[in-house]
Amino acid sequence: MVPIKKGQKVPESNILFVVAENGEYADTDLILCGEEGGEASGMYSAQYIQYGPMVYQFNLPEELGAAIVAIDKDSTHDAAILYQEDEARKISRQKGTLLPENGVPAPDALVPEAVDESKRVERRKAKPIQEEQIKAPVLEEVPLPIENPPLEQTPSALEPMESTEVPLTPETQRGARAIDVSATTQE
Amino acid sequence: MALRAVEHIFTGATAPYTNYDSTKTTVGDLIKQYTGVGVKDKYAGPVRVGRDDGLTAFYGLARPNETATAVPGMYPHVVTWANKHGYYSTGTVAVSGTAVTGSGTSWLLDGVPIGARIGFGSTDAANITTWHTILAIPSATSLTLQISAGTIASGTAFVIDKNYEIDWVFLADNAAAAATRRITLFEYNRNDSIFTWKGFITQTYPVATTHTIVGMRAVYANYITGTVGVATATVTGSGTTWNADRINIGSRIGFGSTDPTQIATWYYINATGSDTSITIQTTITASGTGGVAANINIAGGTPYVIEDLRILTSTVNATVTNGGLFVSAGMAYGDFTTNGTTIAAATTVDRVKACYWLADAAVVTNDAASGLALDDRDSWTQQFCYVIERQSPTTPAIYRYNFRVALGTITAGRTTAAFSLATGVQTVTGNVSQTNNGRVGTLNHGPGSGVKSLYFATTNRIYRVAISAITSASTTFVSDIMVEIPTGGTSTFNASAVLTSVEIADQIDRLIVTGTGGGGVTTTNRAFVTQYNTSSTPFDLPFLIDHRQLDQSSASNDSCPTPSPQGAILTVWSAAGLTYIVRSGTTSLTNQMYAIPLGADWDFAGGSVKQRLITPSLGTADATKLKRVTVSAESQLGGPTLALPTEPYRVYYRTAGISDDSGSWTLVSDTGDLSAAAASTAVQFMFEFRTIGTFCLPARIFSVSCLYEDTTTDSHYQPSVANSNITTSIFAWRFSTAFGGTVPTLRVRLYNAVTGGLLLDDVSSTPLLGVWEKSTNDGSSWGAYNTTDLSGSATYIRYTPTSLGSGIKVRALLTQN
């Protein structure tokens, strides 16, 4: 989520400001912007208004998350949360408080302590969202991307590459969810 | 005869085929002559691909996923921005520092581009040793140089080398689907084969659900109607119709010329007042407004150019009805920056710098787009594009949009004004590809000859749809079909059934067919160049092979990058004979772009654009016999362990019709044998190249040499004093060098050594005026002459004329006939 304020300056513009209402918006929600006193002339993603063009300079959410946390450690942007969760997991592993995923503990291993998930939840709850803010319309026809969470689709550069041994032609059927071409071409 | 040689090294002046000059190396527009510090840096051949000899530079290679901001790219679309050739040398000049003043010059009219080179002191480029780059062209009689050329007196001759060829290559974002999509711009210089990454834009779509681009076109056109004057930031037009012609905020404008390559300073339109009034700013901004207002004054009647650049994308969406066709209007070259420029989603305002959703209906039905094809521009308010809708894998429909039309009512960036019509569905064989599928063009052969058509691919067919057949609700739009039959037939290569795209190779009137690169042993993993046919004739030529070499920057320094599928989809665009091939993976391992001169292939070298390399006329004075041509060429590229072979070439010769290019050419066999050639005072060689090959690494020719015999004693024989006899008029020679086969017919000529007059002329095959004899024992005994080759050091031949006057000083000449 990204907090947006009416009148907030649009990055890389001398004359554009947010004309939408204050609110806590989803990262990719489109926010109406325009010249001061003028009509709305463009819409930008909430994350872009908050963090600028760097949000489009990364392919992996972990990388974007790291960049956002570097300038806003309290960010509730999805990528920032993902990154901080990942970092917390790494630290826990280093401290021996969290087993590697799918790991088999040695017979003499210490019983790991439970990860304190409440802190993460606390951080998410740090900025309560008002109902009216959630409902504040940016665009009526903008559906929430719940069908296709982008972070889950993003390939990890750390994963080993495999050749595509089966002929692939990306297919999308009418009424069916689109298949990501990038996924079909990835090795 | 003595054996002599004449050599040509590929340095010195060149001339385009259209300005043939027998004193220069002649090159087609895809044939280049390169130079550099090293010996192996000087060569000629098709636009280079691969590596240099020092293994320090790559040619025709870009790595989109390894730029400062990594954007995995696909679906190349090319705008040929500069395409200048030849020389200009009319008039004279004076130089003072960086200022060049012309007399009798008209370099604006002639199309001299900024970035071209000028040399002083001669009108012949071959005589120029120091070149200066042109920085600006303020008028027909003034130039500005990048670096001072000192002081040069007026009346000095000059020559401008106009060669300047720049392609803009746009790529679509292939990263994981997201609510925004990036478009990348690379610049490719055809003269040095170097890609330069310019940067990217980020398109904010008017719907924020995740988009996957399935088709992309960068639409570029120059608006030059009327003339203008400028007062501070207001441009006033005469004869202009900017509003009616829908010029966008954000487009860049230049003054003083209608040729963009002659514009040194660009301005940006930030308001469109009327047909005859716009305002401009000096800086480019993401929104198209809010920049620094211009403050210039230009007299009325000045020519100008507005670059109209729009990015069209068709997408499929996580929420299917949020897909369809989108256009980002008001784009400019300068928007593509290394940090990226974020383009806003449109709201309700037409003709601003923003991304519009060109929906086909209130609830989009073009929701399973499969690509995008672009038709010609009919006017500034009409240009159609076509989006193939895949309602099921085998039932496409075609949607037509006019993306230049007034957008009418725009709600939250969405309008239905651009939608023109949709056909019904028609069942096809094979699944319709969804990777940039569709290409509009006119072939000059086959069933679609002369008919503008939309070509598209299914997994095992190429379909043609005449543009005229794309009508509302039609269910019979398909004109005809080509079946996938690989070159050599399916008993040579299995049909892949994984075809993904079809592209028109413009200069050679052929189709380029590529597949997914996926599959195991049953698929070919090759690409094809072919004519379109409906007769189940196999594809004409295969090219590429899946060699699995990784071309990322961390690959071995010995490896030579070359296109291959590697299990990834190859997406292709062809422009002016050059084919841009993108391996469309999403990581640095599998995302590279190559520029390959397929149009220079020897099968098409004699076409309308002659893609050949021709040497200057090479003097062979006193030649009596041409013997052999030898060519020095690069045989492989890359380091010793991983080098790849270059593609082959053909050599032709001619000895007549050189000065006016009228002579016919004869193909030389691989032996280089020229024995059938008629000797003349000059010889000329021509090269044709294979570029549609396995690795597509064109040959590089360093030099060519011609061996010939001249009018002195044949090189295989030495005059023998010991076995000659003045008294009995016997003329003998030692057989010193074997021919390597049957001795050709010999010819003896006896001259009056004082007057030069010919006394006798006879041949060994049918002697009429004397007797030929041969000795194999140093002249101890003589027998009948024969054509047996040399077998030892004691072989001699002699000729005794039947009669020869006395008291004459005679010079005997033995040559091949």
State pTM to two decimals. Answer: 0.84
More confident residue, B459 or A114: B459
The model's pLDDT over A11-37, given as tens digits with 9 standing for 90+, comes to 999 899 999 999 999 999 999 999 988
Separation between Cα atoms, residue A39 and residue A31, nearest integer Å: 13
Which residues in chain B have their CB less than 8 angstroms from residue A140's CB? Answer: 412
CA distance to A85, B137, B300, per residue, from B141 (Å): 67, 9, 20
- Cβ <8 Å between B209 and A171: no
Regarding predicted confidence, which is higher, A38 or B255?
A: B255
Assigned fold of B169-217+309-596: Neuraminidase (2.120.10)
Angle at B790 between CA B787 and CA B793, to 5 degrees: 140
Domain coordinates of chain B in residue numbers?
A: 3-49+601-710, 87-162, 169-217+309-596, 225-302, 717-816
Q: What share of chain B is helix, strand, coil (3-state, %, to 5)?
A: 5, 45, 50
Decide if A174 and B433 are in contact by the 8 Å CB cutoff.
no
Query: Rounded CA gap, A28 and B278, in Å?
Result: 34
> Is residue A81 within a helix (H) or strand (E), and if so which, with residue range?
helix A78-95
Evaluate whether B662 touches B617 at the Cβ level (below 8 Å): no
Measured between CB atoms, does B182 come within 8 Å of chain A?
A: yes
Calculate the CA dihedral of residues A46, A52, A57, A63 and round it to 10 degrees: -80
pLDDT in tens, B632-674: 999 999 999 999 999 999 999 999 999 999 999 999 999 999 9
Q: Does B388 touch chain A (CB under 8 A)?
A: no
Q: Any idea which of A107-116, B11-20, B222-231, B725-734 has the lowest mean pLDDT? A: A107-116
Least confident of A166-175, B22-31, B146-155, B203-212: A166-175
The alpha carbon of residue B586 is apart from the nearest alpha carbon of chain A, in Å, by 6
**pLDDT at residue A135 in the model:** 40
Taking an 8 Å cut-off on Cβ atoms, the answer to whether A53 and B318 are in contact is no
| Pure H helices in B340-491 | none
Task: Calculate what percentage of chain A has a pLDDT beyond 90.
Answer: 42
Instruction: Give yes or no for B412 touching A (CB within 8 A).
Output: yes
Choices 2.30.30, 2.40.30, 1.20.120, 1.20.58: CATH for B87-162: 2.40.30
Which residues in chain A have their CB less than 8 angstroms from residue B342's CB? 11-12, 44, 48, 53, 56
CATH dotted code for B3-49+601-710: 2.60.120
Please list the alpha-helical segments (H only) found in B422-466. none
Q: How close A8 comes to chain B (CA, Å)?
A: 16
Tell me: the pLDDT tens digits for B256-274? Answer: 999 999 999 999 999 998 9
Q: Which residue reads 């202009």 in tokens?
A: B240
Summarised one tens digit per residue, pLDDT across range B611-635 is: 999 999 999 988 888 999 999 999 9
What pLDDT, on the 0 to 100 scale, is given for residue B753? 83
Contact B566 A41 (CB under 8 A): no
- B459 vs A177: CB contact, 8 Å cut-off? no
What average pLDDT is seen over chain B? 94
How confident is the model over B507-538, as pLDDT tens digits? 999 999 998 765 544 455 789 999 999 999 99
Sign of CA dihedral B66, B67, B69, B71: negative
* Cβ-defined contacts of B364-367 (< 8 Å, 24+): B364/B320, B364/B321, B364/B322, B364/B323, B364/B324, B365/B389, B365/B422, B366/B314, B366/B323, B366/B324, B366/B325, B366/B399, B366/B422, B367/A174, B367/B316, B367/B317, B367/B320, B367/B321, B367/B323, B367/B324
- Residue-level pLDDT at A125: 39
Write the Ramachandran bin of B567: left for phi over 0, alpha for psi from -120 to 50, otherwise beta.
left
DSSP A77: -
B-chain residues near A155 (CB < 8 A): 176, 586-587
Give the model confidence (pLDDT) of B31-48 as tens digits: 999 999 888 999 999 999
CB contact B441 to A (< 8 Å):
no
pLDDT at B430 over 50: yes
Check residues B197 and B791 and name the one with the higher pLDDT. B197
Report the pLDDT value the prediction gives residue B518, as an integer from 0 to 100.
59
Q: Which residue of A has its CA nearest to B356?
A: A42
Residue B398, pLDDT score: 98
Distance from C-alpha of B486 to C-alpha of B10, rounded to nearest angstrom: 38
Name which residue leads in pLDDT, A156 or A47: A47
Alpha carbon of A177: minimum distance to chain B alpha carbons (Å): 6
Interface A:B, Cβ pairs < 8 A: 250
Residue A82 DSSP SS3: helix
Q: Which helix (H) or strand (E) holds B326?
A: strand B324-331
- DSSP letter for each residue of A103-157: ----TTPPPPPPP-HHHHHHHHHSSPPPHHHHH--S-TT---TTSS-HHHHPPPT
| Structure confidence by residue, pLDDT tens digits, B744-776 | 999 999 988 888 788 999 999 999 999 999 999
